[in-house]
Amino acid sequence: MEITENKIRQYLLGSLSQEEIELFDLQIILNAALEERLLLAEEKLMEDYLEGTLSTAEKELFQKNFLASQERYAQLNQLSLLKNYAQKNLGLRGSANLTGENAALDLKPAERPTFFQKLKNLISTNLPLTATVTVLTIIGLILGLFIYQKGRENMGAGDEVASLNQKDLSDLSNYKNLSSLSLISGSFRSTAAGSNNVLKKDAASEYFLLRLALPTINNQNENSFNVRISAEEKLLARLDHLRSYNNQNGQELRLLLPSSHFQRGTYKIEVVPEGKNDVPFIFSFKVE
Amino acid sequence: MKKSTVLRQEDFDNLLAWLAPEREEAGRKYEEIRQGLIRLFRFRGCNDPLSLADETINRLATKVSSLNKEGEYKTITYFYGFASKIYLEYLNQRKGKETQLEMVSPLLNKHEVNLVENDNENHQCLDDCLAKLETRDKELILTYYSQEKKAKLDLRKKLAQSLNLNTGALHVRVYRLRLTLKKCIEDCLNKK
């Protein structure tokens, strides 16, 4: 019997006659070189299964006979993972532009119709449908924007503050355009430019950065802190497990806060090293 | 399946003598047949092909004195005969386990294939393992799997041409990279 790729496939699916199976089996035992062809055929079969190109009958045989071992099941999973990863990360469409053997692969997306060409094609094929979809999309966008704005308004200060401060604030250059206050515990700080504990509401950016200088306790630097922000004894926001950042003088906490939630008034910030019941460091700032 | 057959030294010596008069040649034939049986059970979709291959050899070894090597039957035919019997026992045992599962859960659809979701751990391990490959190998394997259906065939043809290979050789190269990845991912998952 000639061992063709089609016969190998049928063998793997278990759809050969008994006589053919026996001939195949003996070839597998005797001929080590057949192994590579079988391995590649297995992979091709698995790819076809994942891509949904097996016929109904083949699919049933695949599930019943081929996926009979844990190893094949694991292989299928890994192949699925790899294909999804490759398609997400490369996401090429069409042909690749490839160079010679020793050169690095140089892959470019194929030439695509321009946006305007695609739009023109779309509009010309089905005008009423396109118009309906366009109108619905615009309405949807307007509604979505409205809901988002409402959501932001309804979101408590606490939730928004917590959400903002999950970011890594190490790189201050990302925030150089924001209003910023630098505070020292227990007192107001004045700089050459004037008091730095007052936020001018009208001139404030959408978010502002608070930098809280942390004293060193017993010559040790703590790394994680719990923070409470309040106004007139009313708790506005609570942040746990905040990390500290190094500055030229030691350590500081950095808080990114939404200006919209801070009306005119005085605010108090209590900072306690995590896991300790120490007297908190108290900071305060004003919004005017 | 029957209880595993234990191979005694005497049976093993008889087996080698049966395979070839010279012990070294007999050892080489033994290993070739063993690898062949492992391939057989593996491509028949059996779990633990190594144990099944060894069981085949062990059972034959206990019966070797009664086997007629002369005449129309080749050595390999005897091995195949024992392997076929062991394979049937394996299938019966597997069928029995599936029936038990169905009794426990009648709703279990044995034809249903649920692939593991590409969870974070698997994804992370794949990420880490791809990073360990040479850049060109990583690009090759990701490009190779980046398309589906007809686009896939076209891409692979071009890929092979660019590397001055035929598509068969390209498949083999990528397959070997996959084996490297597979081992790496398994090690990574075991650590987690």
- CA nearest B155: which of A87, A84, A82? A87
A4 and B CB contact within 8 Å: no
First to last CA, chain B: 35
Q: What is the pLDDT of residue B3?
A: 63
CB A20 within 8 A of CB A6: no
pLDDT at A272: 86
∠A72-B78-B91 over CA atoms, to 5°?
35
Q: What mean pLDDT, rounded, does chain A reach?
A: 79
CA distance A41 to chain B (A): 10
CB contact under 8 A, B40 and A25: yes
The pLDDT tens digits for B132-149 are 999 999 999 999 999 998
Banded model confidence at residue A277, pLDDT cuts 50, 70, 90? low
Distance (Å) from the C-alpha of residue A86 to the closest C-alpha of chain B? Answer: 5
Joined tokens for residue A125: 């094929």
What separation in angstroms does the CA of A181 have from each of A176, A196, A213, A234? 12, 5, 11, 22
Q: What is the pLDDT of residues A3-30, one digit of tens each?
A: 899 999 999 999 999 999 999 999 999 9
Q: What is the DSSP string of B14-25?
A: HHHHHH-SSHHH
Task: Give per-residue burial for B56-76: e unless 16+ CB within 10 Å, then b.
Answer: bbbbbbbebeeeeeeeeeeeb
Q: Which two tokens stand for residue A239?
A: 């942040």
The answer, for A19 touching chain B at a CB cutoff of 8 Å, is: no
Please list the alpha-helical segments (H only) found in chain B.
9-19, 23-43, 49-63, 75-104, 120-132, 135-144, 149-162, 167-191
**Structure ipTM:** 0.83
Indicate whether B42 pLDDT > 60.
yes
Mean pLDDT (chain B, rounded): 84
Q: How far apart are the first and last CA of chain A?
A: 92
For chain A positions 41-80, those within 8 Å of chain B (CB to CB) are 42-43, 47, 51, 53, 60, 63-72, 75-80
* pLDDT surpasses 60 at A210: yes
Choose from A29, A59, A88, A90 for mutation: most chain B CBs within 10 A: A29
Q: Cα distance from B47 to chain A (closest Cα, Å)? A: 5
> Looking at per-residue confidence, does A170 or A189 come out higher?
A170
Nearest to B142 among A68, A90, A100 (CB): A90
Residue B4 pLDDT greater than 80, yes or no? no
In the predicted model, is pLDDT for residue B127 greater than 80?
Answer: yes
Counting Cβ atoms within 10 Å, is residue B42 exposed (0-12), middle (13-18) or buried (19+)?
Answer: buried
- Write down the pLDDT at residue B99: 60
- Looking at residue B8, its pLDDT comes to 86
- Closest chain B C-alpha to A51 CA, distance in angstroms: 7
Test B118 with A84 for CB contact under 8 angstroms: yes
Q: How far is A118 from A114, CA to CA, in rounded Å?
A: 6
Rounded Cα gap, residues B13 and A235, in angstroms:
85
Cβ pairs bridging A and B (under 8 Å): 153
Provide the pLDDT confidence category of residue B152 given band limits of 50, 70 and 90. very high
Summarised one tens digit per residue, pLDDT across range A121-166 is 666 666 777 788 888 888 888 888 877 766 665 555 677 888 888 8
Please determine, for residue A286, whether its predicted confidence score (pLDDT) is greater than 60: yes
Q: Determine the pLDDT at residue B108.
A: 41
pTM: 0.56
Does the structure show a pLDDT above 60 at A191?
Answer: no
Question: Residue A143: what pLDDT?
Answer: 86
pLDDT at B157: 93
Write down the pLDDT at residue A46: 95
Q: Which residues of B touch A94 (CB under 8 A)?
A: 151
Under 8 Å between Cβ of B62 and B11: yes
Arithmetic mean of pLDDT, B90-117: 59
Work out the minimum CA distance from A25 to partner chain B, whole angstroms: 6
Listed ranges A165-169, A276-280, B106-110; the one with the highest mean pLDDT:
A165-169
pLDDT at res. A93 = 43
- Is residue B113 left, alpha or beta, with left meaning phi > 0 and alpha meaning psi from -120 to 50? beta
User: Would you call B139 and A64 a contact, using CB atoms and an 8 Å cutoff?
Assistant: no
- Any idea what DSSP says for residue B2? P
Instruction: Look at residue A144 in the predicted model and tell me its pLDDT.
Output: 81
Query: What percent of chain B has pLDDT above 70?
Result: 83
Q: Can you read off the two tokens belonging to residue A102?
A: 């020793």
Please give the biggest Cα pair distance in chain B. 61
pLDDT number for residue A217: 53
Residue of B39, B122, B180, B185 to mutate, testing the A interface (most A Cβ within 10 Å of its Cβ): B39
Structure tokens at A203: 């001139």
Supply the pLDDT for residue A91. 58
CA angle A78, A81, A87 (to 5 degrees): 140
Give the containing element (helix H, strand E) for A101. none
pLDDT value for A170: 86
